[in-house]
Every structure is written in structure tokens, then in C-alpha cells.
Amino acid sequence: MKRIAQDIKSGQIGRLYLLYGEEAYLRRQYRDKLRAALAPQEDAMNCSVYSGKDINTNEVVDLAGTMPFFAERRVIIVENSGWFKSGNEQIASLVKALPDTTCLIFVEEEVDKRSRLFKAVTANGYAALCEMQDEATLKKWVMGLLKKENKSITSDALNLLLDKTGTDMENIRREVEKLVCYKYYEEGITAADVEELCIVQIQNQIFDMVEAVAQKRQRQALKLYYNLLALKEAPLKILSLIARQFNMLLLVKEMKSKGYHESEIAGQTGLNRYYLEKKYIPQAAQFKLSQLEAALKTCVEAEENVKMGRMPDVLSVELIIVSLSA
């Protein structure tokens, strides 16, 4: 991503970019920076955006070959096309012969690096991986955001903020914005401010619930469940996330027992390396393999009972928490 920043700063912006990876905030940031550097917001004539799985390939190819209207470059942004997984031979051929007057920007969450299109883009342009950031990077970024607003944050408050928000940068940005507004007349942000104002993401609450189950803290596990219900989260959604958590812990524990390195586990499970080491591995260690398998089976059976009308959804999840934390 430094390459993109350098290209923009130098004014030497290339013809072809791919922004991919699971961190949506970074994908949007660099898309918008490239667009702003190439075409003013009001220049609709020379900036076209295509999004979704039903993009007309011929239209994109034709537009890429069209001269810009009273401008140096034509900008074409293609988002979430799925072409980097399903394949698109026309586009793969196009990127090899883009005219100098066109800049083509792809924005995708997932890609297949073996695909002809991905190889064509990397050979003829630049592909930037927008991955989830580690704790140190996120802390530095948050402090940078606050510094721009002439605010500071204590170490305890910063740790608590990341515990509440997780690693999603858009979630973090929103919570930082709330804190800045809340402390408009004061410079320092404390842990008490974060505790009072910031929302715990549902996945973090699910994690804490499973942690309470592992430690047989039944009352705490039920309290977290009731908190989610109070926030209008659907019981079946909560059940699905609990099942996903147990499944992920099972995968982590199995791979760990087979001697896989943390980087391999992160790669195969899709977990952020920081969260894997800080949370998932320690939590998985609290369970036996047989317990995780049984918990996952219980969740699957409970979901089936709810969908078949044999058990009310709220009660079903409650009984799972009680039985697993007994």
C-alpha cells in the first residue's frame, strides 16, 4: 500500500490497480484516494463505477478503450465483481493492453491468486493486499486519528477500545469519532470514557460468552446472552455465532495438536494472527477435543429443534449455555 501512496504523492499513477483483502476500510480508503487523485468528484464524465456480479464485461472493455472527455485519464472502478475467483478471459486480455489514458481499479474482498486475471494484473499493474492489521499497527493508527483532533488516550483506554471493537478498522473509526465528540472540550480520553461510550461488537460478546462457559461461570454467560437479546439480536443468529465459535476453536485445537505453526493456522482458518494468538489459542486450550465436538453437536441439534418448532429459540440457546457451563 506504500506503493500507492508513493504513486499519488509523485503524481506517477499507473494504469492498473487491484485492492483486495478482508479489511474493507483499507480497500475503500485507497480506492477513494486514487479516485480523488485522478478525477474530481464532480467529473462524472470520466469516472465510472461498476459493482456486483452482473457487470457487463463488454461495456467495461469498450469504455476502457474510449478517450477521456477533456481530461488526461479515464477512471474505471470495478468492485466486488467476483472475476478474480470465477475468471474473466476478456478482462484478463484487457489488462494486458490498457491504453495510457485509462486507469482501471479493481476492488475485491476475495481473489484466487492462481487465476489468469490475478496473474495478469500483477504482471501489468499493482496488487495491494488490504489485510486485517495487528494490534501494534491499530494502536498507532488510533493515536494518529486522535492526534489530528488534538486528543490523547491513556494506554488502558486504548487497550479497552480494541477489546471492545475488535480489529475491524471501520468499527474502530466510528468509536473513535464518538469519543472525540464526547470529549469535545477535553483533551484526554480515559478507560472510563471508553467503558461508558463504546459498544462491544457482537462477535466479542460471543467470545466472552464462550469464555464464561469454559470457566463454568454460568451466571456471566447468561448475562451476556441476555445483553445480546436486549440489543435485539436474534436468538438463532446468536446460536449460529456460538456454533461458529466452537467450530473455530475445534479447528484451532486440532491443528495446534498436529504441530501447525500459528501462521499456518491463521492462513487456513482465516483468523487474524493477533486474535489467534491472544484469544483463540488460549480459549481452545481450556477445552478438550471431545468437549468441543460435543458442544458443536449440541448447537447443531438445538438449531434443528428450533427450525422444526420443537423448541422456542430463546429457551434453546439458554439451555445450551446452562448445559455447557454446568
Distance CA 303, CA 307 (A): 6
Of 178, 197, 216, the one marking the end of a domain is 197
* Host domain of residue 155: 135-197
Would you give the distance in Å from CA 116 to the centre of its chain?
26
**Shortest CA distance to 221 belongs to which of 91, 105, 319?**
319
Query: Domain check: are 119 and 177 in the same one?
Result: no
Distance CA 159, CA 49 (A): 38
Question: Going by DSSP bridges, is the β-strand pair 126-129/152-153 parallel, antiparallel, or unpaired?
Answer: unpaired
Query: Domain check: are 193 and 217 in the same one?
Result: no
Query: Domain check: are 217 and 308 in the same one?
Result: yes
Confidence grade of residue 207 (pLDDT, cut at 50, 70, 90)? confident
What is the domain-level CATH number for residue 120? 3.40.50.300
Buried b (16+ CB within 10 A) or exposed e, 313-322: bbebbbebbe
Q: Give the mean model confidence (pLDDT) for residues 223-242.
A: 86
Query: Domain check: are 115 and 24 in the same one?
Result: yes
Query: Domain check: are 144 and 113 in the same one?
Result: no
Note whether 98 and 15 are within 8 A (CB).
Answer: yes
The whole-number pLDDT of residue 128 equals: 95
Of 197, 217, 243, the one marking the end of a domain is 197
Q: Give the mean model confidence (pLDDT) for residues 237-259.
A: 90
In the chain, the number of structural domains is 3
Query: Domain check: are 178 and 270 in the same one?
Result: no
Query: Domain check: are 258 and 284 in the same one?
Result: yes
pLDDT in tens, 268-311: 888 877 778 888 899 899 889 999 999 999 999 998 988 888 88
The whole-number pLDDT of residue 45 equals: 83
The whole-number pLDDT of residue 42 equals: 65
Query: Domain check: are 120 and 162 in the same one?
Result: no
Kindly report which listed range (40-49, 136-145, 314-323) carries the lowest average pLDDT score.
40-49
Query: Domain check: are 180 and 266 in the same one?
Result: no
Q: Give the mean model confidence (pLDDT) for residues 12-32.
A: 93
Query: Domain check: are 309 and 238 in the same one?
Result: yes
Distance CA 286, CA 326 (A): 15
DSSP annotation of 47 = E
What is the domain-level CATH number for residue 206? 1.20.272.10
Query: Domain check: are 154 and 244 in the same one?
Result: no
Of 71, 97, 129, the one marking the end of a domain is 129
Whole-model pTM: value is: 0.69
Query: Domain check: are 123 and 10 in the same one?
Result: yes
